[in-house]
Chains A and B, each alone.
Chain A
Amino acid sequence: MPSRLLRQLRVPILAVLTASLAVLALVLSACGGESPTATPAVDPPPTPPPQVAPAPLASPTAEQLGGGSPQRFLQVFEQGRAASAFRPTAEFAAAARPLPDGEKLKVGIIFSGSQRDLGWNQAAAAGADYVEQTLPGVEIIRAENIPETAEVQEVAEQMIRDGATIVIPTSFGYSGPIKAIIGKHPEVMFLHLGDLEIFENYGSFFANIWQLEYAAGRAAGTATETGKLGFIAAFPIPSSLLNINAFHLGAQSVNPDVETTVIMTNAWCDPGKQVTAVKTMTDAGVDVLTLQQDCTKTVIEAAERAGVWVTGFHYDASAAAPQQWITGATWNWGPVMAQVIHDIRSGVYQTSAKFAGIEAGWAKLAPFGSQVPENIRQLVLDTVQGLRDGRISPFTGPIYDQNNELRIPPGEVPTEAYLQGIDWLAQGIIGRTN
């Protein structure tokens, strides 16, 4: 027993030993100086603007942008700068200062689930991978499975202690706890995915993935035989309601009588509930499913087993449903994250909440499943092209809500800000918003 205990304690003992040695060395070195109080503290010189710009980031190619235009991609950043009321990062951010030789810029990325969830977190992790591969001198510190509570504050603080000068809390619910600590760290840049409220050191960016939900909806509306579609969502937050509406409007555009049933699981990832929701849907006659859950594998596999079509979300999960996968709406965070980090480091980033869609390559279509008929593939590709060049505008009025109330008047095109705050569901959707 004592030896086992010792073995277990070995690591802490080593850590304590190392720590005490370090403290000892520190004390000794301080004593070794002439006189610690003799030299008065001198104000540090004002931070010089970065002298050597880091290696410029080559603009991503159209292929990396999933077919989006590189010009449109860069335009979003120009417009973000022009619209920003904040100072450029050169004036305040630690990340914009030149680093000592051999040191890397540390970026902390926090995930609410597993980086292999075939969903939201894996999509964000793929973005982090892209940054590591394309930006020289950047080191990513990752923390996964962090709840949307005060715990995320502790994780962010720890990352900052470890030298991170940019922190990216990726989950929706991180916004509250993180905004409570940004004041304590005015030199650290925080980047949230999707928050509409921003501060000098708290910016955000988000892809208009709903455009691809519209395209997927068209595929679903064409594929359904029962006229019943199912959407398994987590919470009735605006970004989910927007995707549900887009999916349904897409289906309605090719199949006017189609009905979309919505189930909220009240959890970002509860596989037990997800499977039950799938069963409930298929029992009710739903024959095309889609979802907005953080982890997507369970629902997509369950759809495969139930033999109903499924369209994915967040990440390409076609491997989980070789027969039943149609396509999916996926994020393309890599180029966006790399560009923002590059801009912060070069001192030109000015905080803004940026939104862009498939035209700029911020989101991209997942591959088609092997069993998808040619007419559906063509329809989806045409729709994506139409959305890209602006020929198709899904939310142009008249659009009525579930209670037959006119929400968007005929001919009107709502702003992106309106869409991101949407709080109603369109006619033909069964489900609730609260």
Chain B
Amino acid sequence: MSVFWLVISGTLTGAVGPGISVLYAVYGELITERAGRINLGMEGCLLVGACFGFIATAETGSAGLGVLAALTAGGLLAAIHACLVINRDTSQIAAGLALTLFAGGVTAYAGRDYVDSIITGLNPIAIPGLAAIPVLGEALFRQDILAYVSYALGPILWFTLQYTRWGLSLRAVGESAAVAFAAGRNPALLQWTAIVLGGALAGIGGAQLSVGLTHTWSEGMTAGRGFIAVALVIFGLWSPLRGMLGALLFGGAVGLQLQLQALGAPVSPFLLDMLPYLLTLAVLAVWTGAASRAMPEGLKGILRTG
């Protein structure tokens, strides 16, 4: 393979490797934010998903049950957030960060006996035909089932938000809860649903990381990917499709920097390691104007300074 194709395949490998778990968290955060709420506990939801998904898989031998456990764990953690911010009206920023710290402690404790467990987990399934496409097929269509689900979820989510009654109501609540209430919607219920669903999606993302990609549980293994997801939602201007692009770019940057190292590129690995974060920062800096227009009204009280 020429250097060019190696770079492309390396980037794609990263995009659908570490990128998929971020993508789930992006979907989760996006639903939450479209309902006018923010959940900085996404990192925590990813983490409990990764941990309890792995534990359930190790205990039962079934990756399916593992994903179910991950989804439940993520959803339950998000439910705490929903209860705090909707019913108790606490600071969304503080509640989310506290949840992430809480999840860090709980998972380190619960998962400590599973660090050396060996699981069968989810394994790549090659899609006949598509997997044979050079470079692209190898990277995109030789993945685990959760990766394929994540490809489909973007368009489904976009359609749901754009064209279904539920999606419309959700967006209406995100723009103005009072107006939505006057129109006969139940803002609290819709926001509860959005936050819990968001957490459950992040939980699946966590399972993809532990049960799918790495077959490993390790304390703090999400390494800040939940926070990256929050930034990527803004990067994607609250659109699931652009959010997808963001997550793949982030993962791609991780893959690219590893590939450049393997090619012996004359760049410091420390600098390369900053690439994904620099990219996110750059986009945030460049797209501020657009971000401010696309932001759901309900978020402006929390996110905007001026």
Contact = CB atoms under 8 A, between A and B. Distances in A.
Nearest to B209: A272
A116 B216 CA distance: 12
B262 interface: yes
A281 B9 CA distance: 12
Interface string B212-237: 01111011110101000000000000
Q: What bracket does the count of chain A residues touching chain B fall in?
A: 35 or more
A431 B263 CA distance: 8
Nearest to A274: B214
Contact of B269 (A145, A295, A305, A432): A432
B28 interface: no
Contacts of A60: none
A117 interface: yes
Given A277-B258, A280-B13, A432-B261, A116 B223 contact: no
A273 B269 CA distance: 13
Contacts of B306: none
B139 to A, nearest CB: 9
A116 B261 contact: no
B268 A434 contact: yes
A283 interface: yes
Interface in B249-293: 254-255, 258-259, 261-264, 266-270, 273
Contacts of A236: 269
A216 interface: no
Contact of B261 (A264, A283, A298): A264
B262 A297 contact: no
Interface string A110-142: 000110111000100000000000000000000
A284 interface: yes
B21 interface: yes
B89 interface: no
A36 to B, nearest CB: 43
A272 B21 CA distance: 10
Contacts, number: 122
A272 to B, nearest CB: 4
A266 B214 contact: no
B115 interface: yes
Contact of A297 (B213, B216, B261, B269): B216
Interface string A252-276: 0000000001111111011111111
Interface in B120-135: 123
B258 A280 contact: yes
A301 interface: yes
B214 A272 contact: yes
A76 interface: no
B108 A283 contact: no
Contact of A284 (B118, B210, B218, B262): B262
B183 to A, nearest CB: 34
A16 interface: no
Contacts of A320: 118
B213 A281 contact: no
Contacts of A118: 116
A319 B118 CA distance: 9
Given A271-B218, A301-B118, A430 B13 contact: no
A87 interface: no
A280 B118 CA distance: 23
A72 interface: no
B74 interface: no
A301 B6 contact: no
A279 interface: yes
A73 to B, nearest CB: 29
B108 A145 contact: yes
Contacts of A305: 123
Nearest to A282: B13
Interface in A350-399: none
Contacts of A432: 261, 264, 266-269
A224 B268 CA distance: 28
B273 A113 contact: no
A102 B262 CA distance: 58
B243 interface: no
B18 interface: yes
B10 A280 contact: yes
B149 to A, nearest CB: 18
Contact of B18 (A114, A116, A272): A272
B13 A283 contact: yes
Given A114-B218, A116-B115, A275 B17 contact: yes
Given A267-B223, A276-B255, A277-B258, A116 B21 contact: no
Contacts of A263: 258, 261-262, 269
Contacts of A272: 17-18, 21, 209, 213-214, 221, 223, 225, 254
Contact of B13 (A122, A262, A276): A276
Interface string B13-44: 11001100100000000000000000000000
A318 B214 CA distance: 17
Contacts of A277: 258
Contact of A431 (B6, B216, B261): B261
Given A269-B218, A280-B262, A297-B216, A117 B115 contact: yes
Nearest to A233: B269
Contacts of A144: 112
Contacts of A122: 116
B115 A114 contact: yes
A386 B4 CA distance: 44
A364 B222 CA distance: 33
A187 to B, nearest CB: 32
11 contacts: A116-B115, A118-B116, A145-B219, A271-B216, A272-B213, A276-B17, A277-B258, A279-B13, A283-B138, A295-B115, A301-B216
- 9 nearest A-B pairs in the assembled complex, by CB-CB distance: A271-B214, A430-B264, A114-B115, A116-B116, A116-B115, A298-B216, A272-B18, A264-B269, A276-B17
Given A266-B273, A271-B214, 15 more contacts: A144-B112, A264-B269, A266-B269, A272-B221, A273-B258, A275-B17, A276-B14, A276-B255, A283-B9, A284-B6, A284-B262, A284-B263, A297-B116, A430-B263, A434-B268
